[in-house]
Amino acid sequence: MRAIIKSKTGITRTVILRFKPGWSVPLLGVAASELTDRIVPLEDVWGRAGRELCGELLAARSRADVMDRVARALALRAGQPFETASGQLARRAVRLLEGGEVRVEGVADRLGVTARHLRRAFTENVGIGPKEFARTVRLQRAVRMAATSCDWARIAADAGYYDQAHLIADFRQLLGLTPGAFFKRAGGRMTRPKRITSDFPLPVR
């Protein structure tokens, strides 16, 4: 797991869909772990339907048109999916980790399962283990705090790191840069890109 930072040239179009934990199998047909750290053509996952959707998205002339085509494709794929027990477990674990719980054993205890069971469900539905996920959540928390503060020692403590050296080590390992170099490359401040979001109601039973 490592961040990839690219400088775009020319015109770039990107559509980002964020699925809740547990929906990779019903909607994509494969476990999230099978796609982790891979670039997989949609045709390889959905076959002809994936190839046709890619063509439609390239031909779309507006953001609204893109979202409409994506929504239709997901609605057709959804059919009558249901959230599995492991998907529900992973989703509840995600909420706990995003809420500040940092120990996998602590999350497992609160959910009434073993740490091994939690890791298996998490990897299947999220694509990475709960420890790796908690690490990214902690780093994202630090990045948000650094948008309004330069006190790295305080940021490290508030974000859940042991100390400032621990924070710097995670920046280096996950982003390949020190915190200072990362923000310098980002232009000295973090701004969130404009994003179109749409909710696709899916049946859960």
Cβ-contact 55, 149 below 8 angstroms? no
pLDDT for 55 beyond 70: yes
Nearest Cα to 77, choosing from 29, 8, 139? 29
Alpha-carbon separation of residue 22 from 88, 189, 195 (angstroms): 7, 34, 23
* Residue found under tokens 């100390």: 163
163-182 pLDDT per residue, tens? 999 999 999 998 888 888 88
Could you tell me which residue, 26 or 7, shows the higher pLDDT?
Answer: 26
Q: What is the mean pLDDT of the chain?
A: 81
Considering all CA atoms of the chain, what is the largest pairwise distance in Å, rounded to the nearest integer? 53
pLDDT, average across residues 84-109: 88
Q: Which of 16-25, 46-55, 82-91, 99-108 has the least mean pLDDT?
A: 16-25
Q: 3-state class of 200 per DSSP?
A: coil
What's this model's pTM, rounded to 2 decimal places?
Answer: 0.71
Q: What's the number of CA atoms in the CB half-sphere (13 Å) around residue 69?
A: 18
